[in-house]
Amino acid sequence: MARLTVADLEARAPAEAQVSDQPKIKVGMSTCGMAAGAEPVFVALEAELRRRSVEWRVARTGCAGMCSMEPLVEVTLPGQPAVMFGDVTPEFARHLAAACAAGKPLPVEKRVPGIADLARIAGEPVATEGGPRQYRIVMRNCGVIDPEEIDEYLDRGGYKALARVLSTMTPEQVIEELKVSGLRGRGGAGFPAWLKWSLTRESAGEEHLIVCNGDEGDPGAYMDRSVLEGDPHAVLEGMIIGGYVIGAKSGFFYIRAEYPLAIQRIEKALRQARASGLLGNNILGTDFSFNVEIRLGAGAFVCGEETALIASVEGKRGTPSPRPPYPSVKGLWGQPTMINNVESLANLTQIVLRGGEWFSGIGMGKSTGTKVFAVTGKVKHAGLVEIPMGMTLREVVEGICGGSASGSPIKAVQTGGPSGGLIPARELDTPITYEHLQKLGSYMGSGGMIVMDETDDLVELSRFYLGFCVDESCGKCAPCRIGGTQMLRLLDRIAAGKGNEGDIATIRRLAHAMQKASLCGLGQGAPNPVLSALRYFEPEFRGRLTSSGN
């Protein structure tokens, strides 16, 4: 593969200008698609075309977000709009390939109406069957390109942001665009991205380092995994730009080992980028050199916290450290280190190409841009959605995801995972912003959103989340180690019908102590689901109490 230059990227024609006289057939081959049976569908399509002596390529692609409809197959005939089919079986795949090869009309059954064009839109509003809008910025290429083919990423404008930064922008100018954009860290804390970049750049050290945090561990969350699987080069490009801005020569992908497909595709993206002159020495023929390595996380939830992640990358036990100093001042091996979430980095190229003002025009107030959510639980259309900040919970749950799957009324929505909170159905008209969710006692988190209906027991759900945090606690600090265990013991007693009035008061006292005194976000956030459940659904807890207690 020839090494690219800035001029090569500037001269490259966009995908829309490249006309093909062959049908395009794509199969969703992300983890959700593979789990639903995409591999046999892919094999059936290829075999049927081969049997008919038709040399058309069947391409792999990432997750388009419609996970409940997997396996997904998209067919684009020359001169015609794309048609997407859901719940595809190998038998139907053979029927579909036969129709394409014979030039017959595509089947009507199994078509997915009104949403086949979602993944083609980058930053433009798209209605879902006449309902609420989705914006595709982070997921602009997911479900569109073959994530294992760098040329398809380049055809979609890939690495043009890097070329612009290296040829026409200073690090300070990039930081200014980030500041104008209002982008906040998408890992959960919502810290201003420009400020983290600026602080790291200004910190003194022998070298500066950058880390992509791909260690999402929230139950029901898989946004980062899907982006790494579906558009690995977008995250890598954002990381290289970050390296240039802060003066780094090295970077690390920290990805949990339970994501083998994401790891495989990132590894391939790194090889392709090096061969193309986009990574390594003298990137795009400039004086800038930058390299990236991969480190695997062993699945510890606490390693999503920055200082615990740093310890893990260094080969130590993954436990958090007191802050300050913050990683931007003293991180990996004592050097200034910038740690960014997958989604944060995936936004960066579009901010560079379209400008910070464009990005800040999407969203609400201080919550700008879009957010990707993994919507699971009791909804008809579970999957990934990317929405403008400020859309209401109701628009997501009922509008985009179809409402209750069981027919039973929706009872609550859990956002933010084990550190988030339960939001009752009466608050579904709340806008999704950092500030609005915090007022309800919840949290944006990395983007998990679990929907519950009236059949769900929120006492048991509180026990589950607290039990998860107790299991995942590193045990380093007493407020988390002891407080979480004692809270769980009291919840167990209430759930068994053996609790008393004093137990609820004690739970609240323990929770507040954990929030104030725990060393890291795991301990500080662990009580949130319990406190929010008590705030909105306390009668369910009191209904389990005995009159005398034990």
Look at residue 522 in the predicted model and tell me its pLDDT. Answer: 92
Distances (CA, A) of 511 to 365, 397, 438, 491, 522: 31, 29, 17, 12, 12
Look at residue 123 in the predicted model and tell me its pLDDT. Answer: 46
Are the C-beta atoms of 185 and 193 separated by less than 8 Å? yes
DSSP conformation class of 404:
B
Nearest to 127 by CA among 139, 118, 119, 136: 118
For the cut 70, the answer to whether the pLDDT of residue 129 exceeds it is no
- Strands 448-453 and 370-377, bridge-based pairing: parallel
Distances (CA, A) of 530 to 178, 300, 420, 468, 512: 36, 22, 10, 12, 11
Residue 547's pLDDT band (boundaries 50, 70, 90)?
low
Percent of the chain at pLDDT > 70 equals 94
Separation CA 75–CA 82 (nearest Å): 6
For the cut 60, the answer to whether the pLDDT of residue 117 exceeds it is no
> CB count, 10 Å around CB of 35?
12
3-state DSSP assignment of residue 379: strand
For the cut 80, the answer to whether the pLDDT of residue 15 exceeds it is no
Residue 16's region, left for phi above 0, alpha for psi from -120 to 50, else beta, is: alpha
3-state DSSP assignment of residue 500: coil
Look at residue 499 in the predicted model and tell me its pLDDT. Answer: 92
Summarize pLDDT for 458-515 with one digit per residue, the tens: 999 999 999 999 999 999 999 999 999 999 999 999 999 999 989 999 999 999 999 9
Look at residue 119 in the predicted model and tell me its pLDDT. Answer: 39
For the cut 60, the answer to whether the pLDDT of residue 175 exceeds it is yes
Look at residue 22 in the predicted model and tell me its pLDDT. Answer: 77
Look at residue 10 in the predicted model and tell me its pLDDT. Answer: 87
Separation CA 392–CA 182 (nearest Å): 20
Summarize pLDDT for 49-73 with one digit per residue, the tens: 999 998 889 999 999 999 999 999 9
For the cut 80, the answer to whether the pLDDT of residue 122 exceeds it is no
Look at residue 531 in the predicted model and tell me its pLDDT. Answer: 95
DSSP conformation class of 400:
I
Look at residue 214 in the predicted model and tell me its pLDDT. Answer: 93
Distances (CA, A) of 304 to 37, 189, 518, 550: 31, 12, 16, 39
For the cut 90, the answer to whether the pLDDT of residue 162 exceeds it is yes
Residue 353's pLDDT band (boundaries 50, 70, 90)?
very high
For the cut 80, the answer to whether the pLDDT of residue 116 exceeds it is no
Look at residue 371 in the predicted model and tell me its pLDDT. Answer: 95
Look at residue 5 in the predicted model and tell me its pLDDT. Answer: 92
Distances (CA, A) of 130 to 71, 93, 113, 507, 546: 24, 29, 11, 46, 51
Are the C-beta atoms of 356 and 430 separated by less than 8 Å? no
Q: Which domains does the chain have, with CATH numbers?
A: 20-116 (3.40.30.10), 150-358 (3.40.50.11540), 366-451 (3.10.20.600), 458-542 (1.20.1440.230)
Average pLDDT over residues 230-255: 98
Q: Does the global pTM surpass 0.85?
A: yes
Look at residue 418 in the predicted model and tell me its pLDDT. Answer: 87
Residue 338's pLDDT band (boundaries 50, 70, 90)?
very high
Say which range, 10-19, 283-292, 393-402, 444-453, has the weakest mean pLDDT.
10-19
Tokens representing residue 67 in the block: 């996970």
Summarize pLDDT for 530-541 with one digit per residue, the tens: 999 999 999 999
Are the C-beta atoms of 138 and 386 separated by less than 8 Å? yes
Residues 6+ apart with CB under 8 A from 497: 544, 545, 546
For the cut 70, the answer to whether the pLDDT of residue 125 exceeds it is no
Instruction: Provide DSSP, 40-71.
Output: HHHHHHHHHHHHTT--PPEEEE---S-GGG-S
Separation CA 175–CA 194 (nearest Å): 5
Residue 113's pLDDT band (boundaries 50, 70, 90)?
low
DSSP conformation class of 431:
B
Residue 126's pLDDT band (boundaries 50, 70, 90)?
very low
Look at residue 20 in the predicted model and tell me its pLDDT. Answer: 62
Say which range, 128-132, 235-239, 421-425, has the weakest mean pLDDT.
128-132
Look at residue 409 in the predicted model and tell me its pLDDT. Answer: 96
